[in-house]
Structure 1
Amino acid sequence: MKYRKLANTDLLLSEVTFGAWAAGGWMWGGTERKDAIDAIRASYSMGVTSIDTAPIYGQGTSEEIVGEAVKGLPRDRFQILTKYGMRWDLKKGDFAFSSKNNNDENIDIYKYAGKESIIKECEDSLKRLGTDYIDLYQIHWPDSTTPIAESMEAVSRLIEQGKVRYAGVCNYDAAQLAEASKYITLASDQVPYSMVKRGIETELIPYCLDNNKSILAYSPLERGLLTGKIKPGHAFAPGDHRKDISFFKGENLQRTDEFLELLKPLAAEKRLTLGQLVILWTLQQPGITIALVGARNSEQAVENAKAIDKTLNKEEIAIITDYLEQLELVV
């Protein structure tokens, strides 16, 4: 494994960081707890020391699984990245959407980052994770009902108390990053980025490069789309949110499959899976610090981590990017 320094911190994060959304089961058709724990432990055995989770993932389930997986490990040997600002147990803030929890019960999700809510969320996360501090604490989504200054003040207090080491954000645009940076030293912005979702290249990446902010790329495999394992006509399990996303429908899935077929000779030459090739391409894009990659079992986790054993040269990256420029999807 290789490691990269998170901006404005002394944290070294593994280039492949374990993304624990799917581990929590919510919106992924449920979870097999043992498989999820095994996946995190298998990742760690491969040098993946950084784990990203959130309270909303399974309404606490993902954080509990992470806590169980790392129990007994020296605390200074791994980094926990978690979030705040999405409540399913409080109707306050920006209504996000309605969903079902892992017990198939209806829940309403709100984006809310008021000061007292953040303090409570942190305490709850620490208990579920079985730790006394969080390495990187990130607002999950912008909350238009709470001033950014108030949210950042709460995180500053948690840092002073030693419960949080560093502050980050998720899904912020450049203007929101600039505003938040007036009140706290920010390390990073966690945003969606993949071969088929490159919108951040226009404004956010230049801002982060100019202002010393790390970008944590989530869903670099576009929720499994870019692994080549999801073919046209794929039937998703009940509760799997991907069935409603345009990337996984009809013509888009067909075109993506044809694009991935073009990459197969290079992947074979490099002795890489398509997913591994995609991870490497992502990590070599300007401004990207780490790639958050999920895994439902230990086999997937090991495969993701092994991507780092290889490298891509400039010519190979150019070949991939040229193919990518010809891919047109309807979103």
Structure 2
Amino acid sequence: MSNNPHDTIHITGIDKPILRIALGTWAIGGWQWGGPDDENAIKTIHKAIDDGITLIDTAPVYGFGHSEEVIGKAIQGKRDKIALATKVGLNWTDDKQKVFRDSRPERIRQEVEDSLRRLKTDYIDLYQIHWPDDKTPIEETAAELEKLRKEGKIRAIGVSNFSTAQMDAIRKHAQLSTAQPPYNLFERDIESDILPYAKQHDLGVLCYGPLCRGLLSGKMTKDREFKGDDLRKIDPKFSAPHFEHYLAAAQELSEFAKDTYNKNLLALAVRWVLDKYDGNIPLWGARKPEQIEGVQDALGWKLSDNDLRTIDTILKKHIKNPIGPEFMAPPNR
């Protein structure tokens, strides 16, 4: 892994350097984001690749296959420019009303073939277990992933939402390259365990939610309404009285970014994630081409230790009881 904090790193098993900002495509799938917009999604993916992004992260559950299908169309003729990261280990009922964890070997085998077909590719660069499945022995899951790696269907193995103990268990049976936890200025639980573990074992860390579902975008306002199946309707941070506290913190952080670096809040939020560990790769979520604007604004500079202390002071001033992302966890089988 490169020690350069600004641009690219290498992930074990992946043969191309990875820009330290990746494209996150949950919203492109449409589910929990107000429905899909495929034409804009394809333009967004092309814009990301043109702007130097080399890793695209997706999952079957993002639109129940739809995100993968859209990416598969978008990368035709461009496959050699990017590394594809997708996931395994979630299942759903036929009516798509219930999502649950399922990392049985037979489910993994079915999912990888489905993902390869949807993505229109013959290999996946990074294959990640989406959530730990407490009902399936971890060695069975790991052994199946190792088989897929040796068969060449996948190049590297990652985990998402795993504890350090669960990562230890995986590493006894498979070569682990990455972890994917939630991480942003407002959700920092991983600093006590996952980040030190990643540093110790040289893991890349794909950080999902670096803008905390829009709270750190610089565009969120107190009168914003969330409709339909929007995930933010069940996130306590977006309900009174918490919403007001988080918006106040975002406003002061925005002023700090402007005054200190002439940057916007979004660039500050992503730079902060980059500077917390050289192996961090924030997932930049976008579903419209214009939402890719600004990727370069987060690269090529660095927050000082004094800046990091100032940011911590702002957070403590406005947010007395931080709320984590636990509400997103799907149930076990």
Normalized against structure 1, the TM-score is what? Answer: 0.90
- Contact in 2 for aligned 1:21/1:294 (Cα 8 Å): yes
- Give the number of aligned pairs: 316
Select 1:294's aligned residue among 273, 278, 285. Answer: 285
Following superposition, the deviation at residue 11 of structure 1 comes to 4.4
Query: What is the alpha-carbon distance in structure 1 between the residues aligned to residue 296 and residue 111 of structure 2?
Result: 31
Which has the larger strand fraction? 1
| Within-5 A mapping of 1:56-135 | 56-73=61-78, 75-89=79-93, 106-135=96-125
Structure 2 residue runs without a partner (length 5+): 1-5, 324-333
> Which residue pairs with 1:45 in the alignment?
50
> Which residue pairs with 1:322 in the alignment?
313
Following superposition, the deviation at residue 8 of structure 1 comes to 6.2
> Which residue pairs with 1:94 in the alignment?
none
Deviations along 1:147-200, whole A, 9 cap, x unmatched?
Answer: 111111111111111110011111100000000000011001100111111111
The share of aligned pairs that are identical, in percent, is 35
> Which residue pairs with 2:254 in the alignment?
264
Following superposition, the deviation at residue 302 of structure 1 comes to 2.1
* Ranges of 4+ aligned residues in structure 1 off by more than 3 Å: 7-11
SS at match of 2:34: coil
- Contact in 1 for aligned 2:215/2:250 (Cα 8 Å): no
Following superposition, the deviation at residue 32 of structure 1 comes to 0.9
> Which residue pairs with 2:17 in the alignment?
12
Structure 1 residue runs without a partner (length 5+): 91-104
Change in Cα spacing, 1:32 to 1:217, as seen in structure 2 (3 Å) is: same
> What residue identity is the alignment partner of 1:16?
I
| Within-5 A mapping of 1:143-222 | 143-222=133-212
- How much is the aligned-residue C-alpha RMSD, in angstroms? 1.8
- Contact in 1 for aligned 2:186/2:322 (Cα 8 Å): no
> Which residue pairs with 1:282 in the alignment?
273
Normalized against structure 2, the TM-score is what? Answer: 0.90
Following superposition, the deviation at residue 313 of structure 1 comes to 3.0
> What residue identity is the alignment partner of 2:17?
L
Select 2:236's aligned residue among 246, 251, 260. Answer: 246
Query: What is the alpha-carbon distance in structure 2 between the residues aligned to residue 41 and residue 237 of structure 1?
Result: 29
Deviations along 1:189-231, whole A, 9 cap, x unmatched?
Answer: 1001111111111122222222222221110111111113222
